[in-house]
Amino acid sequence: MTSSAIAVSCLRKAYGDKVVLDGIDFDVAAGSVFSMLGPNGAGKTTTVNILTTLMAADAGTVLVAGHDVTAATATATRAVRAAIGVTGQFAAVDDLLSGRENLQMMADLKRVRSPRLVAQLLERFDLTESADKLAATYSGGMRRKLDLAMTLVGDPRIIFLDEPTTGLDPRSRRTMWGIVRELVADGTTIFLTTQYLDEADQLADRIAVLDQGRLVAHGTPDELKRRMPGTHVRLRFTDPADLDTAARILAGSTRDDQELTLRVPSDGESRSLRALLDVLDEHLLNAREFAVHTPDLDDVFLALTGRPSAEAIAK
Ligand SMILES: Nc1ncnc2c1ncn2[C@@H]1O[C@H](COP(=O)(O)OP(=O)(O)OP(=O)(O)O)[C@@H](O)[C@H]1O
C-alpha cells in the first residue's frame, strides 16, 4: 500500500517562547511502522498529542486517516479518534478493575459486540491466568500489555505507541515486538516513539530523528546507518608510545590520546583482521583491547544530535 495514513506538513508548536516543533514534515505510509526518535524533551510526546487530537497545533497541516486534525472541528476530531488507538503515557487502565473487566469496559465503550473478543485478547497477550486479578496488582509489563490489548478493541487502523516497552524485561519486549509485527502484517499503521534504538531498528520501516524542534534525518534504518562512517577496528593501548607507533604505521587511523585508542578503518573480515594483528606483532605492539565496530543507530543518533542515546548511556 502506498497511501498515507498520516501526512504532516509545516507543523509548529510552541509553549510560550519555547518552540518545540519548528515546522516539521513527514509522511507515514499505510500499513507501515514509522518511528520517531529523539533525545528527552525533543517534542515526541507533543507530536503524538497533536496527531491524536489531544492538543492543538499552532500552525501546519496534519492529516490522520485522511481527516484534518488541525481543522479541529468536532467532526474531524471524532473521525480521527474513531480511526486511531493510543497507548503509552495516557494509559487507560483502571487499577480497580481486573484485566478482564478493563477489556470488557473498553469493548462496551466502543460498542464492540463480539462475545469472544475479551478472551481472545487475554490469550493473545498472555494474560489469561491473571485475567481476574485487579490491574493494581499487575507488573509494569502486564500493564503495558493490557494497555495495548485495550487499544486493539475496535480494530483501529492507526496505532500510536508512545514508548511501549520502556521498563519491560527482554521477554515482554519481544512479545510486544511480535504483536506489533502481526498488526502491521494485517495492514495496521504504527506510529512508534521509542528511546531504544534497537527497537526502531527491529520494527520500523522508516525512522525520523527529532532534535531541537526539527527533523534532522529520516529514512529507512539502513539508509541512516549508511550515512555513518564505516566499519572500523578500535585498539586500546596501555602505553602512549605504543599508540604513537601504531598511529604511524596504520594508514588512515585516527587516535584518541586521552583514551589511548586508535580507530583503524577495516572491512571487519577475518583476513584483514589477521593482517592487522600480524602488523601489530611485527612491531611488538600489544593492544589491551581489540574490537570490531559496525555502525549502528547509536552512532547515527550521536552524530545527528550530538548526544548518546538513552540506551547507549544505560549500557
Ligand atoms: N505543557 C507544557 N508547557 C510547557 N512546556 C512543555 C509542556 N509540555 C512539554 N513541554 C516542554 O516541551 C519540550 C518537549 O516535550 P515533549 O514531552 O514533547 O518531549 P519528548 O520528546 O516526548 O520527551 P521525553 O522523551 O522526555 O518524553 C520539553 O522541553 C518539555 O519540557
pLDDT > 50? residue 90: no
Per-residue confidence (pLDDT) for residue 49, from 0 to 100:
92
Q: What is the mean pLDDT of residues 33-41?
A: 90
- The x, y and z cell numbers of residue 202, run together, are 527491529
Question: Under DSSP, is residue 137 helix (H, G, I), strand (E, B) or coil?
Answer: helix
CA 68 from centre of chain: 25
Ligand 1 centre distance from Cα of residue 56 (Å): 14
Residue range 7-16, pLDDT digits in tens: 999 999 999 9
Residue 172 clears pLDDT 90, i.e. is over it:
no
Q: How far is CA 236 from CA 263, 279, 281, in A?
A: 9, 15, 15
**What average pLDDT does the structure give for the chain?**
89
User: What is the distance in A from the centroid of ligand 1 to the CA of 41?
Assistant: 5
89-107 mean pLDDT: 86
Residue 297 near residue 200 (C-beta atoms within 8 A) = yes
DSSP 134: B
Q: Using DSSP bridges, classify how beta strands 59-64 and 206-211 pair: parallel, antiparallel or unpaired.
A: unpaired
163, three cell numbers: 514508548
**Percentage of the chain surpassing pLDDT 90?**
57
Domains of the chain in sequence order:
4-226 (3.40.50.300), 232-293 (3.30.70)
| Residue 296 reports pLDDT greater than 80 | no
pLDDT in tens, 261-277: 999 988 888 899 999 99
- Asked if pLDDT for residue 221 goes beyond 90, the answer is no
Going by C-beta distance under 8 Å and a sequence separation of 6 or more, which residues neighbour residue 297? 37, 197, 198, 200, 201, 207, 221, 224, 225, 309
Whether 305 lines ligand 1, by a CB cut-off of 6 Å, is no
Q: Is the CB of 42 under 6 A from ligand 1?
A: yes
Q: What residue owns the CA closest to ligand 1's atom 13?
A: 41
pLDDT at 1: 44
pLDDT for residue 89 is more than 60: no
Q: Retrieve residue 315's grid coordinates.
A: 549500557
For 224-252, write each residue's pLDDT tens digit.
Answer: 877 766 778 999 999 999 999 999 999 88
Task: Beginning with the edge strand found earlier in the chain, give each strand of the sheet holding 18-29 in spatial order.
Answer: 18-29, 4-15, 59-64, 67-68
Select from 20, 86, 90 the residue to mutate for testing ligand 1; criterion: most ligand atoms less than 8 Å from CB: 20
**How many whole angstroms separate alpha carbon 160 and alpha carbon 147?**
12
Residue 176 CA to ligand 1 center (angstroms) comes to 26
Query: Is 43:19 a contact under the CB 8 Å cutoff?
Result: no
R_g of the chain, CA atoms, integer Å: 24
How does residue 73 score in pLDDT terms, banded at 50, 70 and 90?
confident
Query: Considering the entire predicted model, what is its pTM?
Result: 0.79
Amino acid 2 reads T
pLDDT of 302 over the 50 cut: yes
Nearest Cα to Cα of residue 301 among 285, 291, 286, 315: 315
> Which has more pLDDT, 261 or 170?
261
Which residue type, as a one-letter code, is found at position 191? F
Mean pLDDT score, 154-182: 87
Least-confidence region, from 115-119, 137-141, 298-302: 298-302
Q: CA 180, 192, 140: angle at the middle one, nearest 5?
A: 70
Tell me the one-letter amino acid at 280: L
**Confidence (pLDDT) at 61:** 95
Q: How confident is the model at residue 314 (pLDDT cuts 50, 70, 90)?
A: low
Q: Copy the grid coordinates of residue 45.
A: 510526546
